[in-house]
Amino acid sequence: MKILLIILTIAISSYILFFETEKYESSSTVIVKDLSEKQATSPLGAMLLAAGGAGVSQDAMLLDVYIKSSDMFELLDKEFKLREYYSGEKIDIYNRLYRDTFLTNRKMNGINLLERYNHDLKLFFDKPSSTLNIKFAHADAKVAQQIVMSIIKHATIMLNNMDKKSSKIVLRSLQKLEKEKYKLFLDSLKELLEYENKHNTINPKVDVETKSNILATLEGELIQKRVAYQSKLQYMNKNAPEMKILKGELSHIESSIKKIKKQMTGKSKKQTELNKNLAQFGLIENKMEFNKEIYKQTLMKLEEVSVMVNQNTKNLIIVSAPKVADSYTYPNKFKDIITTIILLSLLYGVASLIGSIIRDHKD
């Protein structure tokens, strides 16, 4: 058993030292930059896009799933022939995949290929910095670097395609909403025009404003006439023709002011109707202005989303670029050999213990 243990230790250690594939790891740290976040968004647009907006964490989780998927593997396989690599001579005999084998975990199929790919791939998302670290190990250091760069390129395309699909869904909803809001705006505008035609007025407010201006003019004129009357009264007889004319003008102005004030206070039936019309007109006008503003905001958001559909709004900004490794990263040969010796020693100890128990029972 001791000889067998020594032979196994030497054999496995030799395999690890001389035959096991040495893999070079290249890594890159990236951050997702969403350019659409800088665009001015109206309150209405914020509500419309609330469901479609994705934060950096969500984008990173989406990237994690996509980079590990068979879709990414297929893209990388076309560029770097990963199927040939995992079944070729660059991979050691133990870890190599075979086309014709009865061992299911060694057979070259989609499941095992994806498993090998994910074994060489490592992803880590750092929440505090919102960065994603991408690592890939390959027997060729240059290819490992190229694969990391290719992963970043394809991941960026995927993010933008997903964002564009989401924006297209929102765009279709906005186009439908724009038609509805335009119809509401037109209906409220027609209602306003019909009201003006029915009451033969452009705006009841104009009548009130006109009377207010006339009243202010008359009150100013009344003050001037009173000052002139009092000044002339000091040296002229109040029964003088000029003074009588001035007095008559004062009475006429005062009478006009009282009449206009009475009309504006709403005591007359005509003014009561005017106030009612003014209130109705205000409601119709406010309704029209509200529908106009909603339609305006919808058009703004429609234009914004239309731009988003036709441009790449998300980018993977490279914080640290992948480098060509100058020494292999895997396997850790010293650690693996020590682990092998410990495991075989434990196995020998267990076997020896079982043998001693058997001998004791025979005795």
Q: What is the DSSP string of 157-225?
A: HHHHHHHHHHHHHHHHHHHHHHHHHHHHHHHHHHHHHHHHHHTT-S-HHHHHHHHHHHHHHHHHHHHHH
Residue 47: enclosing H or E segment and its boundaries?
helix 43-48
In whole angstroms, give the CA distance from residue 116 to residue 105. Answer: 10
SS3 assignment, position 324: coil
Which of 274, 62, 278 minimizes the C-alpha distance to 165?
62
| Amino acid occupying residue 14 | S
DSSP letters spanning 100-123: S-S-GGGB-SHHHHHHHHHHHEEE
- State both tokens at 217: 């003019």
SS3 assignment, position 61: helix
pLDDT given for residue 263 in this prediction? 60
CA 27 and chain centroid, separation: 27
Residue 246: domain span? 178-307
Residue 11 lies in a domain: no
315 and 293 belong to one structural domain: no
Residue 190, exposed/middle/buried by CB under 10 A (0-12, 13-18, 19+)? exposed
45 and 170 belong to one structural domain: yes
79 and 147 belong to one structural domain: yes
Residue 319: enclosing H or E segment and its boundaries?
strand 314-320
324 and 207 belong to one structural domain: no
In whole angstroms, give the CA distance from residue 100 to residue 106. Answer: 9
pLDDT given for residue 55 in this prediction? 62
CA 130 and chain centroid, separation: 15
233 and 339 belong to one structural domain: no
Residue 338 lies in a domain: yes
Residue 6 lies in a domain: no
Q: Any residues with CB less than 8 A from the CB of 308 and at least 6 apart, and which?
A: 36, 39, 163, 164, 167
196 and 280 belong to one structural domain: yes
Residue 15, exposed/middle/buried by CB under 10 A (0-12, 13-18, 19+)? middle
Residue 254 lies in a domain: yes
Q: Around Cβ 270, how many Cβ atoms within 10 Å?
A: 10
Count structural domains, the chain.
Answer: 2
155 and 92 belong to one structural domain: yes
- State both tokens at 284: 């119709």
Helices (H) and strands (E) in the chain, counts: 11, 4
196 and 297 belong to one structural domain: yes
Residue 355 lies in a domain: no
In whole angstroms, give the CA distance from residue 294 to residue 203. Answer: 23
Residue 94 lies in a domain: yes
26 and 168 belong to one structural domain: yes
134 and 232 belong to one structural domain: no
SS3 assignment, position 26: strand
Tell me the whole-structure pTM to 2 decimals.
Answer: 0.62
Residue 26 lies in a domain: yes
**Region of 112 on the Ramachandran plot (φ > 0 left; ψ -120 to 50 alpha; else beta):** alpha
285 and 148 belong to one structural domain: no
In whole angstroms, give the CA distance from residue 262 to residue 269. Answer: 11
| Sequential pLDDT tens for the chain (363 residues) | 778 888 888 888 888 888 889 999 999 999 988 766 544 444 444 444 443 434 678 888 889 999 999 999 999 999 999 999 999 999 999 889 998 888 888 999 999 999 999 999 999 998 888 899 999 999 999 999 999 999 999 999 888 888 777 777 777 888 888 888 888 888 888 887 787 677 666 555 556 566 677 777 877 887 887 888 777 777 777 777 777 777 777 788 788 777 766 666 655 555 555 556 666 777 777 888 888 888 888 888 777 767 666 665 677 889 999 999 989 888 888 888 899 889 888 888 888 888 788 877 765
164 and 253 belong to one structural domain: no
Burial 258-267 (b: 16+ CB within 10 A, else e): eebeebbeee
In whole angstroms, give the CA distance from residue 95 to residue 119. Answer: 11
In whole angstroms, give the CA distance from residue 170 to residue 46. Answer: 12
Residue 32 lies in a domain: yes
